[in-house]
């Protein structure tokens, strides 16, 4: 709330207001978790967080006016990402979750810089960890947006954890619009998936990483197209798990067992936003607010 000092931001602010006011601040563990994405896709991560951490308050930020990020340059994505991280830090979040694979691929360092002591988790770190663990033979396919694939972030993260891994990446730019169109089991999507996956399926892979917020919605179709042969890593679920573990380690889990509060901020509310968003989230969206950044 306005006027309260953020103890996580000691360098930037004077030692003010006096102690009495400081004592009224929300305890660290009762603060919300900030989750952000380029648009509504990150709601797949929010959904997984709601399931895994049902007592945590969440603030979601979706940059719906400037989506998609997956085809933008690194400098632009860094700039936008910093604005979003700062917006959430001002709302005193206890952790930041980069739900967007593209932002995690090229701007995770920017977020960690502005976050200071606030823990930052991201979908690539969690997805890479899970893939390195579950792959039997080390052959791992990663599908993602063009910017994520170009950054090589997944391959780097996986190799770091498992140097013997063979990582094959494929950009799937048509998946984002197809998912937003709701064509989750449409012949066009099936054909597109078959075409995209051709190049990775000729390799000896046993694991498929869904390296984009939108792809978890295509999981049944992708399982089908790959004849259920591959272990699918859904980075939404693995990120929620990693968040639960990290917050527990840091003693930051909310001790209260009340109804959690969910707030959603977006930079635009385009046509059908609510419908599409609720498909990603699997429940209704209340407390939706439009804000301007920068
Ligand atoms: N959120 C993006 C990702 O996970 C997909 C949408 C976009 O391109 O902005 O990569």
Say if residues 226 and 197 touch (Cβ distance below 8 Å). Answer: yes
* C-beta separation of 272 from 182 below 8 A: no
Count of CB atoms situated within 10 Å of the CB of 145: 28
Structure tokens, 157: 């993260």
Which residue, among 228, 136, 212, 227, has the nearest Cα to 178 in the 3D structure? 212
Check pocket membership of 106 for ligand 1, CB cut-off 6 A: no
Strand order in the sheet with 58-62: 120-122, 95-98, 33-37, 58-62, 262-266, 288-290
Question: Which residue spans within the chain are E strands per DSSP?
Answer: 33-37, 58-62, 95-98, 120-122, 139-144, 166-171, 207-211, 231-234, 262-266, 288-290
Residues composing the chain: 294
Per-residue tens of pLDDT for the chain, all 294 residues: 333 334 444 444 444 344 444 445 679 999 999 999 999 999 999 999 999 999 999 999 999 999 999 999 999 999 999 999 999 999 999 999 999 999 999 999 999 999 999 999 999 999 999 999 999 999 999 999 999 999 999 999 999 999 999 999 999 999 999 998 999 999 999 999 999 999 999 999 999 999 999 999 999 999 999 999 999 999 899 999 999 999 999 999 999 999 999 999 999 998 888 889 999 999 999 999 999 997
Report pLDDT for 24.
52
Q: Is the bond leading into 17 cis (omega within 30 degrees of zero)?
A: yes
pLDDT of residue 271: 81
- What backbone torsions phi and psi does residue 118 show, to the nearest 5 degrees? -70, 125
The Cα-based distances of 255 to 6, 29, 56, 102, 235 in angstroms read 21, 7, 9, 33, 26
Best mutation site among 35, 45, 213 for ligand 1, i.e. most ligand atoms within 8 A of its Cβ?
A: 213
Q: What is residue 97's three-state secondary structure?
A: strand
Instruction: Catalytic residue, from 123, 212, 252, 276: name it.
Output: 212
Residue 212 annotated to the active site? yes
Q: Which residues pair with residue 234 across a beta bridge? A: 210
CA dist 108 and 123 (Å) reads 10
| Neighbouring C-beta atoms of residue 289, cutoff 10 Å | 9
How many Å lie between the centroid of ligand 1 and the Cα of residue 67? 8
> CA torsion sign, 130 to 136 to 137 to 140?
negative
Q: How far is the CA of 209 from the centre of ligand 1 (A)?
A: 15
> What's this model's pTM, rounded to 2 decimal places?
0.89
Determine the Cα–Cα distance for residues 13 and 139; give it in Å rounded to an integer.
49
- State residue 205's pLDDT score: 98
What one-character DSSP code corresponds to residue 27?
P
């Amino acid at each position: 709330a306005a006027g309260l000092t953020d103890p996580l931001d000691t360098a930037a602010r004077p030692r003010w207001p006096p102690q009495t006011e400081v004592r009224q601040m929300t305890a660290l563990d009762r603060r919300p978790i900030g989750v952000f994405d380029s648009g509504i896709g990150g709601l797949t991560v929010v959904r997984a967080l709601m399931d895994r951490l049902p007592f945590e308050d969440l603030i979601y930020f979706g940059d719906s006016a400037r989506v998609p990020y997956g085809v933008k340059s690194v400098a632009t994505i860094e700039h936008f990402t910093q604005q979003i991280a700062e917006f959430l830090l001002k709302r005193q979040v206890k952790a930041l979750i980069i739900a967007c694979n593209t932002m995690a691929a090229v701007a995770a360092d920017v977020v960690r810089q502005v976050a200071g002591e606030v823990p930052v988790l991201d979908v690539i770190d969690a997805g890479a960890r899970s893939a390195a663990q579950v792959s039997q033979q080390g052959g791992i396919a990663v599908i993602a947006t063009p910017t994520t694939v170009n950054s090589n972030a997944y391959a780097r993260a996986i190799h770091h954890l498992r140097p013997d891994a063979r990582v094959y990446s494929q950009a799937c730019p048509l998946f984002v619009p197809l998912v937003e169109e709701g064509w989750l089991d449409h012949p066009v999507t099936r054909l597109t998936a078959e075409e995209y996956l051709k190049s990775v399926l000729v390799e000896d892979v046993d694991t498929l990483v869904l390296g984009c917020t939108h792809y978890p919605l295509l999981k049944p179709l992708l399982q089908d197209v790959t004849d259920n042969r591959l272990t699918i890593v859904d980075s939404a679920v693995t990120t929620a798990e990693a968040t639960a573990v990290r917050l527990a380690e840091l003693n930051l889990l909310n001790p209260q067992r009340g109804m959690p509060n969910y707030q959603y901020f977006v930079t635009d509310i385009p046509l059908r936003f609510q419908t599409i968003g609720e498909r990603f989230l699997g429940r209704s969206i209340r407390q939706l607010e439009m804000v301007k950044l920068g």
